[in-house]
Structure 1
Amino acid sequence: MTPKIARYLHDRVPATPCLVVDVDRVEERYRALHAALPLARIFYAVKANPARPVLERLISLGSAFDAASWEEIALCLSAGAEAQAISFGNTIKKVSAIQRAHAAGVAMFAFDSDEELDKLARYAPGCRVYCRILVENAGAEWPLSRKFGTGVEHARTLMLRARDLGLDPYGLSFHVGSQQTSTAAYEAAIARVGLLFTDLTRSGLDVRMVNLGGGFPTRYRDDVPEIDQFALAITHAVTRAFGNALPELVVEPGRFIVGDAGVVSSEVVLVSRRRVEAQGDTDDLPKDALRWVYLDIGRFGGLAETEGEAIKYRFRTPHDGGRTGPVAIAGPTCDGADVLYERSAYRLPLDLACGERVELLSAGAYVSTYCSTRFNGFTPLAEHYI
């Protein structure tokens, strides 16, 4: 919660649910990452928050962009980004999207399979390609393994084949998982990719780039390592893997850049106590039934990352500092899956009541883009960029 957001919420009292993002804070986070990893080029992961004010501010700072679709590429171009500063980082692309990106001047494409490589050779001839390697996601609160990436041996075959198909085998990439809380994950991944990079170079490929992916965390309920700690671990690992012959380095932060720049303001719709009914003898039921707090935003309104109670947002209420008690927290829809937290030992003030507002902190990433379109008729999340 930046002072700028706090003033906006106090003075404007915008209708809920809404997301308020402090764009100055976005700039601060970009500059902090650039200072920590000055040798790495930053490709902002557009999927984290593709709002035009965010893109325009990052363009003014010299950022490049990691796009997951033609639509995200178009957003970047319309905001003023150069096509050469955009990477089509999704390894699963429609032919029409490849064609449109290539025609627009996008020159860098990710892949991790023979079939995707064939599409790139046919519909984006001569482009720079980089192969995504499968690495461990231990320590990530939102893992990205299994669906993406390939093994080292297959990656070697793919990169050699890329050259034979007339493509430019530009580099290698990996992703250690979103909201990664372990610096060791980067060290292990860099060592793994470094061996393959060296092998490919000795085989005559002009491999020049290593993409470290994203994953840098935002502080939610629990503390996480600072960016300087990640940078130190990465720098040491890159030096061990490559010595003085450093490749071009790329990072793809999303959550780190916009996460703590945003706050979701929500209204309490209902506070109730729910007792579980049981068959037969009820003597074992608790005397005090569990208190449930229902908000006007839930998993279908933008808080999809609470699935499995993975991302644990911090809450601010009008009664902070008062007596608290255990709660389950849920959204407003008529869907039984719309429960945010039931097992994560959340506690909220006992005085919290229907009609009051609560804020979910560090909610600038992966909220507006996960918001459904009027599920149960609820109005989609409003957005305010200040």
Structure 2
Amino acid sequence: MQRRILYTVPALTMGGVASVLDALVRGASGAGYEVHVAYYEKADADFAASLSEAAEVHYAGTSCRLPLLRPALIARRIGALVSDLRPQLVHAHSFDADLLSARALAGLPVPFLVSCHTFSYVRTARSLRKAYARFAPRITSFVAVSEALAAALKTVPELASRPVAVIHNAASARFFEPLPPEGRASFRSRLGVGEDEILIGYVANFHPGKRHSLLSEAFCRMKAKNVRLAFMGMELDAGAAGLARDALRKHGQLERCAFISDSSDSHAFLQACDIYAHPSSSEAFSVALAEAAASGLPIAAMNVGGNPELAIEGRNALLCGPEDAGCLAGALDKLAADAALRNSMGAASREIAAERAHPVTQMRKYLELYGELSGRQS
């Protein structure tokens, strides 16, 4: 009998969770699972079509917008899918796919796994304690993307009794492959970066929590003059993008910074950089940070959340306290001034990423957990 797995997600749209879902769908399919994906909000047509290559995609949503009736209808549709497919495992990603799936599984003896990707999940659980008190007992196990997030889950009384497995997010395999020298040179030329200049990069869509403006401020405080800064990410929050530009403009440094909205070529971008900066104020386990490490970059980052599990102080990274622009400027200056340090930390980044954030490692751990949970059912 072929093993079946049903993934439940709110939406099929591109983003951090989508990249994890895509890897899991393809990995589970390659391991012999019959894979199904249920969603109930919007879907990106290209992403849905891509998933359909390895899974059967089901829409479990409804046109009903009544706040009390809509969740019940979605849960009923997910429950009908489970009854029809009889999967060996249901794997939900994020809020509120977890609560809706738990509601759908009432009376159905199916192992239920919930992946937790961000600290906002913990904050949501604290604000909805009655709902989690009711439905958390149906969760067989959690997956947290970092030790820091796993510890945070245990601080929520309604979730504390549930087992938590830690499986780090992974960078796509292509980030472990270096570009030919001409590819790096070509990208730097497009940005107007000279051969003797140090390029500092950051990959993140503009959002207040990503703290682009803090990196702008740190860049302006640097003593080194042979440096350039480049942001790659969509300007989803005009205010956050404006603050980043304003800080640079105030110090006359705007012309030394590039803003790249299309992140489809992030592999080439990271290979073109010399240093990766990560000023975000809250991270469970950043995929962008994993991609930078896989690309062999030395890192200057904030000592928050799961960052220290990948950016290790003194080995491949220099870490600063949150919101400390002065410390970040000093860390960037230290890396910019020392090519040998950049090279040694860059090599360490590749080693750490290969050990903790490689897609093969991530999928192996998930498949081991799937086998363990499915075995409980049998």
Q: TM-score range by the shorter chain?
A: 0.3 to 0.5
Larger RCO, structures 1/2 (Cα 8 Å, 6+ apart):
1
**Which structure is larger by alpha-carbon Rg, 1 or 2?**
1
Higher normalized strand content (fraction of residues)? 1
Give me the TM-score of the superposition, normalised by structure 1: 0.33
Give me the TM-score of the superposition, normalised by structure 2: 0.33
